[in-house]
Amino acid sequence: MELVRALTAAQPDVLDDAAKALQRAHLRHYEAAGAGEAVRRLNDLLALTIDCLTTRSLGPVCEYADQVARERFESGFEIGEVQTAFNVLEEAIWQDVIVALPAEDLAEASGLIGTVLGAGKDTLARTWVSLASRQHVPSLDLTALFQGTRN
């Protein structure tokens, strides 16, 4: 598959661009973990993305996203931090791989990348909401919106 070959070949550039974008985002927990750890996490997600594209299976990315959501939730990350990691990787793939493919491959390639990373982000969000709904989370407390309203 052309996309897998192109993505594998561009892996160093994709990781570099994604890591730079993640740094520019100034995400508290990623900065605290250090640049090396952020690159390792991005590399894990990229390798998993390539594996899912190769096998045409979303199971591994969904399992990974579920695990990451649980770990990061328990570590106090905000969901936006983790979603940003998925997003910067996807953007780097677009910049370094998708645009370089022949025009006839663009629709399929963009659909495949969007499907794999979208499934991961969807699982991440569903798991996160499930975990957050089990405890009081100030960002989910909407009562302040109704203070001072009349019946």
Kindly report the pTM of this predicted structure: 0.83
CB contact at 8 A, 92 and 45: no
Give the HSE-up count for residue 8: Cα atoms under 13 Å, Cβ half-sphere. Answer: 10
Q: What whole-number distance in Å separates Cα of residue 102 and Cα of residue 96? A: 13
For residue 47 the two structure tokens come to 């390798």
Q: What is the pLDDT of residue 145?
A: 56
Pick the CATH number of 2-134 from 3.40.50.2300, 1.10.490.70, 3.30.2090.10, 3.20.20.70: 1.10.490.70
DSSP state of 76: T
Any idea where the domains of the chain sit in the sequence? 2-134
42-93 per-position pLDDT tens digit: 999 999 999 999 999 999 999 999 999 999 999 888 898 889 999 999 999 9
Reported as a pLDDT band with limits 50, 70 and 90, residue 137 is very low
